[in-house]
Chain A
Amino acid sequence: MINPQLDSDGNLKHLLTIEGLPKRILNQILDTAETFVGVAERDIKKVPLLRGKTVCNIFFENSTRTRTTFEIAAKRLSADVINLNVGTSSQSKGETILDTVDNLIAMHADMFVVRHSQSGAAHFIAQHVPDNISVINAGDGRHAHPTQGLLDVFTIRRYKPDMHNLRVALVGDVLHSRVARSEIHALTTLGVPEVRVIAPKTLLPTDVEKLGVQVFHDMKAGLKDVDVIMMLRLQNERMNGAMLPSAQEYFKTFGLTQDKLQLAKPDAIVMHPGPMNRGVEIDSCVADGDQSVILPQVTYGIAVRMAVMALLGSGSPSSLQAIGGGNVGQAGNSR
């Protein structure tokens, strides 16, 4: 089957999911992101890579954080940004997804950043846009959230550069998590030898081990000697019901506390995609503690999203070097 994310030359055309993307592309994105980290630290936080381009954030599902970081990323690349919260407008009037998208195409948008509550929505839109438009999946149902997966491995790479010698544990609601799926694919593609998932059976997808992970149901066993702990958000509506009896019991069994953190390697880092439920999946003293890299994740998220947009919007990496900001020339040989 043809990979819908790559063009005929094997370059990234859309970013829909990490699954199936070659390692070369992931590294290209991460290396490019490395060069953008510096942009935010300058007085003038802009590079002209997407000048004259229009980026449409189409959010069929509400989001503040993700939309904001995409917006900042696009603006730092000098693009014009339009935000559409479709969840609250045309869809409620009966317009279909394709009607919405077609209208934006008619307005000559260049790039769509799409979030939708249904798995596969980004693929669906990518199949129906003309060749000159790129689609970035900003989260579709339980399926994928590729830029989150990328920013997470980017963060890991910054703190733990040797990806081939890492033990990573994902803790929590893997079943409903697009973030977990993207993280797993990113980690396994980049050659992390041991990826663990730790959760009760009610929160794990069927045959999850076929994604290349080891399954644990006990925090103590699962966290032992890991280098990275990636906590997952537990949606409020799943805390009381047939999935879990209560938030308190969840915190007791699968919440990350200082005690449980002791089981990991002493220099282990703690991550969370946000927004956090303090006292449900993570103890505040861990979230705010020395080993937490939760806020750097947010910072790096902008650099990674800039890298993805730059790669999609300006063609080949060489053109990035030609017209990019001062740091961009280092792409590929940073770290």
Chain B
Amino acid sequence: MKIHIKNGRVIDPKNKIDAQHDVYIAAGKIVGIGNKPADFTANQTIDATGLIVSPGFVDLSARLREPGSEYSATLVSELNAAAAGGVTSLACTPDTQPVLDEPGLVEMLKYRAKQLNLAHVYPLGALTRQLEGKLLTEMCKLTEAGCVGFSQADEAIIDTQVLWRACEYASTFGFTLFLRAEDDYLAKNGVAHDGELASRLGLKGIPAAAECLAIASILRIARETNTKIHLCRLSTAEGVNLVREAKKQGVQVTADASAHHLHLTDFDIGFFNSHAHLKPPLRSMRDKEALCQGLKDGTLDAICSDHTPVNDDAKLLPFTESEAGATGLELLLPLALKWAENQKLGIAEAIAKITHQPAQILGINGGDLSVGCDADVAIFNPEKIWKVTPSELKSHGKNTPFLGLEVMGKVQYTLLHGQITYQSF
């Protein structure tokens, strides 16, 4: 199968390309950018006039809900959502039922995802058994099975001795830990940013200090043990500052923010809108601005979708009882573009944060359009305005605080290994 993508504007931040080029694909690989290889005869031509041709997006945090929560979403539905969102590689969290703490489960997930052939799925294995924060998992075996790193999902490791040992052990083999920093005691039962809005609505708050304390101890341990740490979904201005300082001091740390936190604050909870119930909570305007700025100056390395499909019933409850999370794979592109626009940056900067930068954190191939690489490509219209509605979303999760709003930027084609996995009509 040979595909010729013609007349598109190719943006490949890793290779510093931003120009009109034709792209040539053969046998699932990129065989030419701008230069047509000799003896290339396309079976299919995609006219990308007015569209941007970019590496397929790489997402650092998506919940696929399988195994265990098929009522909320299935691998098929969510990988279709990934394709519709232009996401060709994604890291999935280990908080499934059962927890991804055994090689067999990881192999099964990898196998099923490969059969579906809609996106590359890179599992993050559980760092501790059952995510209980007590006993280490078989990290080497899990890595062999396909894990690209280890995570506690939203569960904290309360015992700092265990965290220290986990870091030492991971560091021995050069594994990366993907941790969401939150002090478990300070965050207990909290559902919103501890500030004026939570006080007004009578919601139990999670202070910004819960994140900062946890970041401080994780970074300290990472430095002592020389461990590669990726901090997932920062939410606070102070957290950004801590990471900025740590990077200056040479700690091996990277960090991301969720696309939601770049655009929303706790005030978007309004009158108890459960779609704005997220983990970590939406925080203040000042925090939001600091995240946007941190992403701009490179303190934060990537934007993730924090894709969390939740079934309608679990959102149709009073705010505190509702399940946290928002669907995100199909909104990653428009929200990243919007961030760049707000920061007066170009489209290439937005794409960098959802392609090669997260790919580098995961240590995977992908996120660029180098000749010879897998042809994982997203072709999108950056100016297409569309309304976020349940029927528009492929994900089983229709839960997003952007429901009913218009966003700009829509994927027209997604290619995985040179095969079209999504096409918008």
Any B CB within 8 A of the CB of A206 = yes
User: Which of A96, A116, A143, A206 makes the CB contact (< 8 A) with B207?
Assistant: A206
Q: Are B203 and A119 in contact (CB under 8 A)?
A: yes
Residues 102-124 of chain A, each 1 if its beta carbon lies under 8 Å from chain B, else 0: 00000000000000101111011
Q: Are A118 and B195 in contact (CB under 8 A)?
A: no
Stretch at the interface among A74-82, A207-215, A257-265: A207-215
User: Which of B201, B313, B316, B317 makes the CB contact (< 8 A) with A119?
Assistant: B201
Residues 140-178 of chain A, each 1 if its beta carbon lies under 8 Å from chain B, else 0: 111110000000000000000000000000000000001
Q: Are A97 and B318 in contact (CB under 8 A)?
A: yes
**Interface set, chain B 179-221, CB cutoff 8 A to A:** 194-196, 198-205, 207
Q: Are B319 and A120 in contact (CB under 8 A)?
A: yes
Q: Are A1 and B195 in contact (CB under 8 A)?
A: no
Any B CB within 8 A of the CB of A181 = yes
Q: Given contacts A119-B202, A120-B201, A143-B202, are A206 and B320 in contact (CB under 8 A)?
A: no
Q: Are B199 and A205 in contact (CB under 8 A)?
A: yes
Considering the complex, give the chain A residue whose CB is closest to the CB of B313: A96
Q: Are B196 and A210 in contact (CB under 8 A)?
A: yes
A128 CA / B272 CA spacing, docked (Å): 13
Any B CB within 8 A of the CB of A193 = no
Q: Given contacts A96-B313, A206-B194, A206-B205, are A124 and B318 in contact (CB under 8 A)?
A: yes
Q: Are B320 and A141 in contact (CB under 8 A)?
A: yes
> B371 → chain A, closest Cβ, in Å?
52
Interface size for B (C-beta < 8 A) is: 22
User: Which of B198, B205, B272 makes the CB contact (< 8 A) with A124?
Assistant: B272
Q: Which residues of B contact A118 (CB under 8 A)?
A: 318-321
Any B CB within 8 A of the CB of A19 = yes
Q: Are B200 and A211 in contact (CB under 8 A)?
A: yes
Q: Are B317 and A96 in contact (CB under 8 A)?
A: yes
Q: Given contacts A118-B320, A120-B318, A124-B317, are A140 and B205 in contact (CB under 8 A)?
A: no
Any B CB within 8 A of the CB of A317 = no
Q: Which residues of B contact A211 (CB under 8 A)?
A: 199-200
Any A CB within 8 A of the CB of B270 = yes
> A100 → chain B, closest Cβ, in Å?
12
A123 CA / B318 CA spacing, docked (Å): 8
User: Which of A97, A128, A144, A210 makes the CB contact (< 8 A) with B202?
Assistant: A144
Q: Which residues of A contact B316 (CB under 8 A)?
A: 96, 98, 128
> A203 → chain B, closest Cβ, in Å?
12
> B265 → chain A, closest Cβ, in Å?
14
Residues 247-277 of chain B, each 1 if its beta carbon lies under 8 Å from chain A, else 0: 0000000000000000000000011100000
Considering the complex, give the chain A residue whose CB is closest to the CB of B207: A206
> B133 → chain A, closest Cβ, in Å?
22
Considering the complex, give the chain A residue whose CB is closest to the CB of B267: A1
Q: Which residues of A contact B318 (CB under 8 A)?
A: 97, 116, 118-121, 124, 140-141
Considering the complex, give the chain B residue whose CB is closest to the CB of A180: B202
Q: Which residues of B contact A140 (CB under 8 A)?
A: 202, 318
Q: Which residues of A contact B202 (CB under 8 A)?
A: 119-120, 140-144, 178, 181
User: Which of B200, B204, B272 makes the CB contact (< 8 A) with A19?
Assistant: B200
Any B CB within 8 A of the CB of A4 = yes
Q: Which residues of B contact A128 (CB under 8 A)?
A: 316
Considering the complex, give the chain B residue whose CB is closest to the CB of A122: B318
Considering the complex, give the chain A residue whose CB is closest to the CB of B320: A118
Q: Are B271 and A4 in contact (CB under 8 A)?
A: yes
A208 CA / B194 CA spacing, docked (Å): 11
A120 CA / B270 CA spacing, docked (Å): 11
A69 CA / B316 CA spacing, docked (Å): 30
Q: Are A208 and B199 in contact (CB under 8 A)?
A: yes
> B116 → chain A, closest Cβ, in Å?
33
> A1 → chain B, closest Cβ, in Å?
6
Q: Which residues of A contact B321 (CB under 8 A)?
A: 118
Q: Are B271 and A207 in contact (CB under 8 A)?
A: no
Considering the complex, give the chain B residue whose CB is closest to the CB of A121: B318
A140 CA / B317 CA spacing, docked (Å): 13
Q: Which residues of A contact B196 (CB under 8 A)?
A: 206-207, 210
User: Which of A1, A116, A142, A208 makes the CB contact (< 8 A) with B271?
Assistant: A1
Residues 291-316 of chain A, each 1 if its beta carbon lies under 8 Å from chain B, else 0: 00000000000000000000000000
Considering the complex, give the chain B residue whose CB is closest to the CB of A119: B202
Q: Are A97 and B317 in contact (CB under 8 A)?
A: yes
A121 CA / B322 CA spacing, docked (Å): 11
Q: Which residues of A contact B195 (CB under 8 A)?
A: 206-207
Q: Are B199 and A1 in contact (CB under 8 A)?
A: no
A205 CA / B197 CA spacing, docked (Å): 10
Considering the complex, give the chain A residue whose CB is closest to the CB of B192: A119
Q: Are A120 and B272 in contact (CB under 8 A)?
A: yes
Q: Which residues of A contact B319 (CB under 8 A)?
A: 118-120, 124
A174 CA / B364 CA spacing, docked (Å): 52
Q: Which residues of B contact A120 (CB under 8 A)?
A: 201-203, 271-272, 318-320
Q: Are A210 and B199 in contact (CB under 8 A)?
A: yes
A140 CA / B313 CA spacing, docked (Å): 20
Residues 171-212 of chain A, each 1 if its beta carbon lies under 8 Å from chain B, else 0: 000000010010000000000000000000000011110110
Instruction: Rank and list the top 9 A-B pairs by shortest CB-CB distance, nearest first.
Output: A142-B202, A120-B272, A143-B202, A205-B199, A119-B202, A118-B318, A121-B318, A207-B196, A120-B319
Q: List 24 A-B contacts (CB under 8 A).
A: A96-B313, A96-B316, A97-B318, A98-B316, A116-B318, A119-B203, A119-B318, A120-B202, A120-B320, A121-B318, A124-B317, A124-B319, A141-B318, A141-B320, A142-B203, A143-B202, A143-B203, A144-B202, A205-B198, A205-B205, A206-B194, A207-B195, A210-B196, A210-B199
Q: Residues of B with Cβ closer than 8 Å to A?
A: 194-196, 198-205, 207, 270-272, 313, 316-321
Other A-B pairs beyond A96-B316, A124-B317, 11, CB < 8 Å: A4-B271, A119-B319, A120-B318, A120-B319, A121-B318, A124-B318, A143-B203, A205-B198, A205-B205, A206-B194, A210-B199
